Amino acid sequence: MEFPLWAVFALLCAASSALVLIIPERVKCDGFALAFWNKVAAFVFVIPFVIWQGLPDQPLFYALVAAQALLWVVSDVIFFRALPKVGAGVVSRILPISVIVTFFLWFFFDHDLFREYLSTPWRSFFVCVALCGSVYFAMRLKRDPVSWQAIRMIWFVLFAAVVGPLMYKLVTKYATIEQGPFAFVLFESFVMVSIWSVFYAVKKPVAASVLFSKESLRGGAMVGAAMTLVSLTKFAAMHYVDNPGLVPAVKYIDAIIIMAYYRMIGKVEKADVVAGLGIVGCAVAIILLRSLA
């Protein structure tokens, strides 16, 4: 049994994702400014690697990346508008449901993989059980009640969480592992910054003094560095994994990393320890089951 590469990159993605969530708490920047400079920084960070490796020559690569960028631009706006109204706890309980939907939807794109799962029914059954367990424990971390009003408010965010990994996996089919991760970050950042630039010119969501402040630039660079690592490792994980639904399930470990960080700095937060251990256990089970020959 060999430890799968996709799991290595998924675990690295989880660690980087935890940084993306922790850094904004430390830098205290405006949300729009942080999002904008985060993508600008990511664009700049990968330019040397794109020059070194070159760009993919498949038009579908750029079409899929652009479509995914548009998806997240809209989803992020709805997400940040809904948070103050429904609360982060409610959102964090709803979104994990998307993992199960993504997992089963992928079989419509990969019939050979579906046949492989059917040929090993017991192993496939336990993979599904571990996947559902990961989702259950992720939802259990926060005990906020979920209402239909909250689901109606963030239905597009949930839709994006389902479709996003599918598109991510499809993108990896149109680029090599040497070029794809860097080109993905570069082009996605370019599309999102372009859209946000037009949005800023029209709506002026924050003052120029806030957008161009040292705090915004520094915070954006820090988050951009972490987000670049998230995107690169996620692309690599999606490249090597057979079903894109497995990567988010393992990535839930980022919540456990954040819980450990809070404990280290002495921040008091009510946490479900059993749920945390459950996420880790399910992630380990998924990795081990999919690494069996």
Summary mean pLDDT of the chain: 86
The contacts of residue 109 (CB under 8 Å, 6+ apart) are: 166, 169, 170
**What is the pLDDT at residue 163?**
92
**What is the pLDDT at residue 92?**
62
Residue of 99, 106, 161 lying closest to 130 (CA atoms)? 99
The mean pLDDT value for 205-227 works out to 91
Report whether 101 contacts 218 (CB < 8 A).
no
pLDDT in tens, 114-144: 999 999 999 999 999 999 998 888 877 766 6
Count CB atoms within 10 A of the CB of residue 155: 12
- Alpha carbon 281 to its chain's center: 20
Q: Assess whether pLDDT exceeds 70 at residue 271.
A: no
Residue of 33, 5, 1, 9 lying closest to 251 (CA atoms)? 9
**What is the pLDDT at residue 258?**
79
**What is the pLDDT at residue 218?**
93
**Residue 147 pLDDT class (50, 70, 90 cuts):** low
Would the pTM count as exceeding 0.85?
A: yes
